[in-house]
Structure 1
Amino acid sequence: MIATDHATQLRRGVVEACILGLLARESMYGWQLAERLIADGAIIGSIGTLYPVLSRLRERGLVTSYEVASESGPPRRYYELTTAGAAALHRFRDDWTSFAASVTQIIAPEETP
């Protein structure tokens, strides 16, 4: 597996949690989410990959959406975290902390005497 394959797999594993984390801060519409996820570490490659993930999160009851009229075009669909989404994010944060620490310890270069 080449390095980009590793990065792709890592992104896939955290994209849902990153979306929940952004929505925990504030409600956002799809384009805002995509911009943040692309700019903040290239968590997603394009806006097209965002909407299927949002649909899955909505189906699982972790996010909800609502429309707001826009002066510059069609209504914008905003997404917000549900109570279940906040709980899922909390569980992920707990798991992530210990998981990341374990991985860091395992992959750290050996110290030379």
Structure 2
Amino acid sequence: MKETQLLKGVLEGCVLAVIAQKEIYGYELVQTLKEKGFTSIVGGTVYPLLQKLEKQNLIIGVRKPSLDGPNRKYFTLTQDGEKSLSEFIMYWQGLVGKVDRLLSDYQTEGDCDEK
């Protein structure tokens, strides 16, 4: 399974987590995700997600002037967005724990077979 397939299920939570840290515009968000190791992320994936999150009232976008060109749309979390992010973190931590336990068992069994 490719990383991009796994990422589709968690990208929304990751985007909310980045926006929770500071008010941010789309291109800066993409760059932040890339800096955090999500190197396969492209704007064509993130921008539609931002529109979706805005329609769901999880984020608010406000256009502001930019010194570097046209106005930029900066995003912040709404209260619903904060709640959604908290739920994502709770579910993610539970899932990671389950997968880690499963993989730990697999690695242990694999180690025993080699001896």
Match of residue 26 from structure 1: 22
Moved segments of 4+, more than 2 Å: none
Please state how far the C-alpha of 1:16 moved relative to its aligned partner: 0.6
TM-score of the two chains, using structure 1 as the length reference: 0.89
CA distance in 2, matches of 1:103, 1:28: 32
The Cα offsets for residues 56-93 of structure 1, whole Å up to 9 and x where unpaired, read as 10111101100111122100110110000000000111
Q: Which ranges of structure 2 fall in alignment gaps of 5 or more residues?
A: none
Residue of structure 1 equivalent to 2:48: 52
Q: State the partner residue of 1:80.
A: 76
TM-score if structure 2 supplies the norm length? 0.87
Pairwise CA distance, 1:39: 2.0
Matches within 5 A, 1:1-113: 3=1, 5=2, 7-42=3-38, 44-108=40-104, 109-110=107-108, 112=112
User: Once the 2 structures are TM-superposed, how far is the Cα of residue 43 of structure 1 from its aligned partner?
Assistant: 6.2
Larger CA Rg, structure 1 vs 2 = 2
Amino acid across the alignment from 2:52: R
* Structure 1 portions without partners, runs of 5+: none
Q: Provide the aligned C-alpha RMSD in A.
A: 1.5
Structure 2: distance between partners of 1:53 and 1:89: 15
Distance 1:91 1:26, change over 3 A: same
Q: What SS does the aligned partner of 1:41 have?
A: coil
- Cα distance between partner residues in 1 of 2:49 and 2:5: 15
